[in-house]
Structure 1
Amino acid sequence: MVFLEVLDTYLHEMMRHEGLGDNTSPGMCTNCRTETVTRLATVRCKECFDRRLYCHTCIVSAHERMPLHRIEEWNGDYFAPSCLKSLGLRIQLGHPHGERCVNPQPAFDDTFTIVDSASVHEVSLDFCGCETAKLPIIQLLRHCLFPATSVAPRSAATFAALDHFHMLSLEGKLSAFEFWRALARTTDKTEINPPPDRYEALLRMMREWRHLLLLKRGGRCNDPAGPSGTAPGELALKCPACPHPNINLPMDWETAPAGKAWLYSLFVGIDANFRLKRKNVSSDRADPGLGRGWSYFVEEGAYQDYLKTCKEPVQKSTCNAHKAVNDATKREFKGLAASGLGTIECIRHDFKRGMSIGDLRQGERYSVMDYLFFSSLQGSAHQRLVISYDIACQWSIHLWERMSDIPPHLQLPPLPERQVAFLVPKFHLPAHITACQTSFSFNYTPGVGRTDGEAPERGWDFLNPAAGQTKEMGPGARRELLEDLMGDRNWKKTVGLGKTLLRRIKTAVATCAEQIDSHSDFEKRLGPTVVGPWRTAVEAWEADSTKPNPFASAVKTMSQHAVRLELNEEEALLLAQGKLELFHEDVTPCVLISTGLDLEEQQRTLARDISGLGLHATDRQRLNIIQRANALRNKLNMWLDHQKLYCPAAFVLHSGENSNSQSADPVAAVPTMNLWLPSSLGPRTTCPTNLREIEWKLRFAQAQDALNHIRASLQIRAGVFQQKDRFERGQRAMTRSRSVIARLQDKIDDCAERYRVARRALAALAPILNKSHESWATSLQELRDGDIRAISAGEIRETEGRRTMSWIWRVEGVAETAGQNETIHDSLRVEWCKSRARAMRWSEEVELLEEEMRRVLAFLDWKAAQWDTRAVLDGGMRTDITRGAQAYAKRQASIMRSLTREFRRTWASVPMLMSLHEPYKVFSDWDANNVDTTSPYIEVRS
């Protein structure tokens, strides 16, 4: 490393600052050397850029405007810590700099403690005692010093220190105790002369500072009503991309057609967190908080009154045994005043909503989550809601009946046209039963785009690091700290919307085109006869969720015993027909090639069995292999005798190969013997054309048959996996299941190898027989390991929304095969519905992102106009306060307009990107004119 080469230089220069540098002793003060009396320069400032030494008088004079700098004095041996107070510096408040008060009022005991962002200072401070003097707290605030108390303050913190700690608490979740300890140690690392303990004062000042910032940023100083006129939830930062009536929605949004109305849906998510506990310390009476219900938490008094009177419904889960349902009242909460937090938030953009957070008393009870849900929507005019909850399948059942227990002012208006979709977040969905996985899926629900519903989980990740300090706080202090963190996260999300939405729309446009192309190809290959009834069924379900769900499989998967029976019957049938050992005596060209393909298959089987023999095989196992190898060699020799009658050139090649063979193991040589079928001879070797034509037809059929067996075996294996995971218990049953799965996998591997051999042969014969590439390679593509997957499985790391179906399910002939196999036909139907849903969701995502970008710009324009209005004050305040409020409002309006300009610049390429986007439409031409291509919304599910 380069640093190690100059390590000594760095160390020496750091050490040089410990002494006097080039001097052996302090000299005369260069600042006052022209005076009659010269003074010895022994003092320097640790924080000024100037590192020279000064005398006592000059250092005090230079720091009248910087009274909180730390200094050190040379004592003859080293620099010892000192302070400006000991040198005679006094801080004068209430007068311009340089003007001394005629009636100064020293602080208590002539010592005042000031907490700075770097250390703690004890200073000599004088308040102004003139007749026109302001209150001591005003004198401190005028000098950017925040008093620790409003009555006879003895200590204060600089605005810079509070702002510095505020940012550390937001970004690093630093506690006040840790910040204070850092300041105390910086002031005196030896702790021999520690500063006065002002930890409690720092806690108080920081709470007040947070509250004042909240009011200031909420525009309460620009309102004649002041803080007392704050409305519930008014101080919470709204999501600019969410729909807000009368703010960022079109004038006619309420009458939008069905094909566009879903764009104005409100997406909210519900979740609970059991890490943000609070111990049973203090109480709401002792620590009520400075602003209750003004921001993200619900108003505590009304909330507690509701919890005392509400009735908790007794409802066992009809889905899986979700702990949030069955164990809602069983969680351990001994010694806790709050067992966690419940939240309602925007799931499209991860914003916390106002009046949506509340403490959990005894777990995640329906009554608590109901109150928080309706509180977050109070005054809402949205007619369409998408609600995400990990137990939505249970919570939604009697929601509208339970609404009657909610306070009247929180209940939603009875709008008959209101439409609601209850869905389960994507990550949580696999924990539900199969019926819920299709009925409550974001992937299959129209009008939700690519929303995943997991936003609350990401929000907890930001708040959880503060759990260590909040669990020890009183209720008011805890709520204020958490609200401060939530507001900061909402603001960071706001300024990051430009990059976030741009990244999302770039991904959405590209992926939408990919999914549409994939679905179009799949649909066209299936054909109108197959797809027509499926489309009718899925559109009927989307219009009315009580109709049969087309995403649910209608065919019961084969059981383990049925699969084992089928495999054994297949082997018995092959043995009974003699196909494994049969060799034809009357050889025709067709029989010759057919037999050659059979022998090739037997060679592969023998090679696999030899490789699986192992190092410690028994004599019986070795005997079986040798007997099979000898029998196969006899068959190969007999076949070669017939081959030389039809293709002498192949016999010559085989004879030359035998003369050069020096194999030490005759058994291992049998599977590797080259049969020299027509596909192996090459274009320059003489071979009858009819033999090549026969092999072409047989190889093509062999490849198609191998694909059919792969598809069927994959579906059977998927059914066995599902049965094993859901029903098999115990070592014996699991072992049997794994045995069946292993046999199925061996069969799939054999079929894959057979297909690859057949395709290589076709590729070799095609140019010789003048077969065009398009005539066969389209339906018989190259088979990769990743292509061998079930119809409902994607590639590695592909989620359901991004999943692409393997080409083996999209080639021609699959539909015809499906007509003969009920399992494959049902799987194709479900997969077609999923493929259509993926194309539609990505198409919706593009439209939704475009609309959200428009809403963001409209919201910021509205916000800027709101601050412009706040800059016009009618009076009621002093002139100096009015000027400050106007300046602040104009600065906030400027920030909003700056964000608007930045977002427009960031999104400058979006119009061109959208010109490349083609939304989803009905691809099939046979009934395109008769199909409604709009995306209907789902009705309320009760």
Structure 2
Amino acid sequence: HWGFWNWQKLLGLGEQLRTRLDRAREEYSTQLAAFTEFSAQQVDRVDEWRTMVETFEADNGKPNPYAITTKALTERDVLLRLEEDDAKRTQSGVPSIHSVSPTSFISAGLEVEDEQCRVRAQVELKKAQTTAQKIDVVLLRRKLGQMMRCFRTLQATYTPAAIIALGQRVDVPEDEPPEAEPLFLPSALPEGQRQDEPLRGLAVIEQELCDAQCASSLVRLRNQLHIKSRLVTYKRIQSRNQGANTRSRTIVERNEMKIRLHSEKYQMVWDALRCLEGGDPGKVGQRKLRKEDIRCMEDAEELRRGAAKRQAQADRRRAREDTLREEGLSWRRGGGGNVREVSWIWTASATSTTEAELEEGAPLVASFLPQCTDSMSLSLVLRIEWCKVYARRNGQDALTTEWAKLSSECGLAELLTHHTQNTHTPTQSNPN
């Protein structure tokens, strides 16, 4: 059997290689068009980028043009820098209004906000309301209540306006859970109140921390979506046709809770940044995250092939409908397919810095930089993307050159054409 299978594989090599060659030629035209358009848009930088690629290919010890050379700043790095600034102001003689620094105050508020999100997610996850789950929810709310009381004490010193706004709320239910109680961080206060100290300085601190949290939340969301893809694949392939797969469902649901937690965190931080920018979404460096954007990464090539397949199906359906209409028969138009592209969360840069700050060697408030961005004309990101397109174009050129050489020397073109047109299957296996 193995000999027969190998013989069939050998006979099918001609057709298989010819099919791959035709597909490569078709892809070559697409890659060449993309490379030409990309190079025309960045004509001032192409020569420098090409020199970097050729130098690196000749000597791998040279700087890698495909790698990111920026230094990423995490949320902890931003917090450390702000704490150092507070310490310098204290040493220079600037009086402090509380033993807790302004940075620690804002950090505590953001931590309470994170705990509120976590409690809300746990409450919804444990909505079956068994006795053990009720006890867990009570303990979580008790811990959150203690954190909020400590934070309210600090608010009375730093932002008394927040305490006043909290007391002016109307129609507040008596049994309001702590996870639903607003915190009134500086971003939630009116813009006019943020023009004076200490609210103005607190708003700046919150904005910097929110920038870092926005980037870290997006990275964690991507990670959980990757995990979801693996878990769903495992459940579909390995846990199917089984009487009980409760454990698999529980793991998937737990991961869904984490996805929701990170997405809600991103949305809250983005809304805080919007408020700090005067309510203008265009001034926020990050994009708004919507529910339809939270999905796993689809390959762009697979999406393109799927679109071509759906187009062919639509053409066949229209031809069938025209035939039925000509014969006087009734026909019904089918529903449209799910046509969508890769979500922006997999292509958008996880940073809100400006173009000048993204030059090589500048720090980034992010721990992940993807292949390309949506609308930002960034030198570093464009260079990496151009180098990748250039490498793909060179690979296609090398394939075409090698094919022409082999065709002229060995007559492979005639051999492949012969096997494509006269494919046959032997009746007996080859003993060799």
TM-score scaled by length of structure 2: 0.53
- 1:750 shift after superposition: 1.0
Residue 784 of structure 1 pairs with residue 246 of structure 2: no
The structure in which a higher percent of residues are strand is 1
- 1:760-783 C-alpha deviation (Å, 9 max, x unpaired): 111111238xx9946x52xx1111
Rounded Cα–Cα distance in structure 2 between residues aligned with 1:607 and 1:596: 17
- 1:599 shift after superposition: 1.0
- 1:809-863 C-alpha deviation (Å, 9 max, x unpaired): 22335999xxxxxxx99xx78x99xxxxxxxxxxxxxxxxxxxxxxxxxxxxxxx
- 1:725 shift after superposition: 4.5
| Residue from 611, 619, 637 that aligns with 2:149 | 637
- 1:724 shift after superposition: 4.2
- 1:612-639 C-alpha deviation (Å, 9 max, x unpaired): 444x623443233233323322321221
- 1:34-57 C-alpha deviation (Å, 9 max, x unpaired): xxxxxxxxxxxxxxxxxxxxxxxx
| Residue from 137, 140, 145 that aligns with 1:625 | 137
Task: Give me the CA root mean square deviation.
Answer: 5.1
Q: Residue 106 of structure 2 contacts residue 206 of structure 2 at CA under 8 Å; is this kept in 1?
A: yes
- Residue 11 of structure 2 corresponds to 398
- Residue 166 of structure 2 corresponds to 654
| Residue from 157, 170, 173 that aligns with 1:663 | 173
- 1:730 shift after superposition: 5.8
SS in 2 for 1:446: helix
Rounded Cα–Cα distance in structure 1 between residues aligned with 2:234 and 2:146: 45
Rounded Cα–Cα distance in structure 2 between residues aligned with 1:735 and 1:532: 52
Q: Residue 121 of structure 2 contacts residue 257 of structure 2 at CA under 8 Å; is this kept in 1?
A: no
- 1:454-500 C-alpha deviation (Å, 9 max, x unpaired): xxxxxxxxxxxxxxxxxxxxxxxxxxxxxxxxxxxxxxxxxxxxxxx
The structure in which a higher percent of residues are helix is 2
Q: Residue 632 of structure 1 contacts residue 670 of structure 1 at CA under 8 Å; is this kept in 2?
A: yes
- Residue 697 of structure 1 corresponds to 208
Q: Residue 703 of structure 1 contacts residue 758 of structure 1 at CA under 8 Å; is this kept in 2?
A: yes
Structure 1 gap ranges (5+): 1-311, 318-393, 402-418, 424-439, 452-507, 537-584, 817-823, 833-921
Rounded Cα–Cα distance in structure 1 between residues aligned with 2:204 and 2:301: 37
Q: Residue 109 of structure 2 contacts residue 151 of structure 2 at CA under 8 Å; is this kept in 1?
A: yes
SS in 2 for 1:671: helix
Pair 315,719 (structure 1): closer, same or farther in 2 beyond 3 Å: farther
> Between the two proteins, what is the percent identity of the paired residues?
20
Q: Residue 794 of structure 1 contacts residue 800 of structure 1 at CA under 8 Å; is this kept in 2?
A: no
Pair 629,719 (structure 1): closer, same or farther in 2 beyond 3 Å: closer
AA in 2 matched with 1:633: G
- Residue 180 of structure 2 corresponds to 672
- 1:929 shift after superposition: 12
| Residue from 237, 256, 264 that aligns with 1:753 | 264
SS in 1 for 2:138: helix
- Residue 250 of structure 2 corresponds to 739
Pair 735,643 (structure 1): closer, same or farther in 2 beyond 3 Å: same
Pair 722,627 (structure 1): closer, same or farther in 2 beyond 3 Å: closer
Q: Residue 298 of structure 2 contacts residue 342 of structure 2 at CA under 8 Å; is this kept in 1?
A: yes
- 1:194-229 C-alpha deviation (Å, 9 max, x unpaired): xxxxxxxxxxxxxxxxxxxxxxxxxxxxxxxxxxxx
Residue 446 of structure 1 pairs with residue 59 of structure 2: no
- 1:652 shift after superposition: 1.0
SS in 2 for 1:761: helix
Q: Residue 679 of structure 1 contacts residue 761 of structure 1 at CA under 8 Å; is this kept in 2?
A: yes
- Residue 222 of structure 2 corresponds to 711
Rounded Cα–Cα distance in structure 2 between residues aligned with 1:707 and 1:809: 9
SS in 1 for 2:348: coil
Pair 737,396 (structure 1): closer, same or farther in 2 beyond 3 Å: same
Rounded Cα–Cα distance in structure 2 between residues aligned with 1:655 and 1:931: 65
Trace 1:139-218 onto structure 2 (pairs within 5 A): none
Rounded Cα–Cα distance in structure 2 between residues aligned with 1:738 and 1:753: 22
- 1:696 shift after superposition: 0.3
Rounded Cα–Cα distance in structure 2 between residues aligned with 1:610 and 1:313: 58
Trace 1:539-550 onto structure 2 (pairs within 5 A): none
Residue 808 of structure 1 pairs with residue 318 of structure 2: no
- Residue 600 of structure 1 corresponds to 113
- 1:410-451 C-alpha deviation (Å, 9 max, x unpaired): xxxxxxxxx97444xxxxxxxxxxxxxxxx698xx4223699
- Residue 381 of structure 2 corresponds to none
Rounded Cα–Cα distance in structure 2 between residues aligned with 1:795 and 1:720: 23
Q: Residue 528 of structure 1 contacts residue 926 of structure 1 at CA under 8 Å; is this kept in 2?
A: no
- 1:774-800 C-alpha deviation (Å, 9 max, x unpaired): 6x52xx111123322333356998755
Rounded Cα–Cα distance in structure 2 between residues aligned with 1:930 and 1:446: 11
AA in 2 matched with 1:448: E
SS in 2 for 1:644: helix
Rounded Cα–Cα distance in structure 2 between residues aligned with 1:421 and 1:795: 20
Structure 2 gap ranges (5+): 58-97, 309-339, 352-357, 361-367, 374-383, 404-411, 420-432
Q: Residue 155 of structure 2 contacts residue 162 of structure 2 at CA under 8 Å; is this kept in 1?
A: yes
Pair 781,927 (structure 1): closer, same or farther in 2 beyond 3 Å: closer
Q: Select the structure of larger CA radius of gyration.
A: 1
Trace 1:450-529 onto structure 2 (pairs within 5 A): none
AA in 1 matched with 2:134: R
TM-score scaled by length of structure 1: 0.27
Rounded Cα–Cα distance in structure 2 between residues aligned with 1:594 and 1:773: 26
- 1:255-312 C-alpha deviation (Å, 9 max, x unpaired): xxxxxxxxxxxxxxxxxxxxxxxxxxxxxxxxxxxxxxxxxxxxxxxxxxxxxxxxx9
SS in 1 for 2:156: helix
| Residue from 750, 758, 764 that aligns with 2:275 | 764
Trace 1:877-916 onto structure 2 (pairs within 5 A): none
Q: Residue 643 of structure 1 contacts residue 650 of structure 1 at CA under 8 Å; is this kept in 2?
A: yes
SS in 2 for 1:675: coil
- 1:930 shift after superposition: 12
Trace 1:914-933 onto structure 2 (pairs within 5 A): 924=386, 932=394
AA in 2 matched with 1:755: Y
Rounded Cα–Cα distance in structure 1 between residues aligned with 2:344 and 2:183: 31
Rounded Cα–Cα distance in structure 2 between residues aligned with 1:400 and 1:604: 57
Q: Residue 125 of structure 2 contacts residue 257 of structure 2 at CA under 8 Å; is this kept in 1?
A: no
Q: Which moved more, 1:745-754 or 1:926-935?
A: 926-935
Pair 620,680 (structure 1): closer, same or farther in 2 beyond 3 Å: same
- 1:710 shift after superposition: 1.2
Pair 528,812 (structure 1): closer, same or farther in 2 beyond 3 Å: farther
- 1:720 shift after superposition: 3.2
Rounded Cα–Cα distance in structure 2 between residues aligned with 1:619 and 1:930: 60
- 1:738 shift after superposition: 3.3
- Residue 316 of structure 1 corresponds to 5
Pair 316,785 (structure 1): closer, same or farther in 2 beyond 3 Å: farther
SS in 1 for 2:142: helix
AA in 1 matched with 2:24: P
Trace 1:322-333 onto structure 2 (pairs within 5 A): none
Q: Residue 162 of structure 2 contacts residue 184 of structure 2 at CA under 8 Å; is this kept in 1?
A: yes
Question: RCO greater where, 1 or 2, for CA within 8 Å and sep 6 or more?
Answer: 2
Aligned length: 294
| Residue from 606, 610, 621 that aligns with 2:123 | 610
Q: Residue 795 of structure 1 contacts residue 804 of structure 1 at CA under 8 Å; is this kept in 2?
A: no
Q: Residue 450 of structure 1 contacts residue 801 of structure 1 at CA under 8 Å; is this kept in 2?
A: no
AA in 2 matched with 1:595: A
SS in 1 for 2:151: helix
AA in 2 matched with 1:808: I
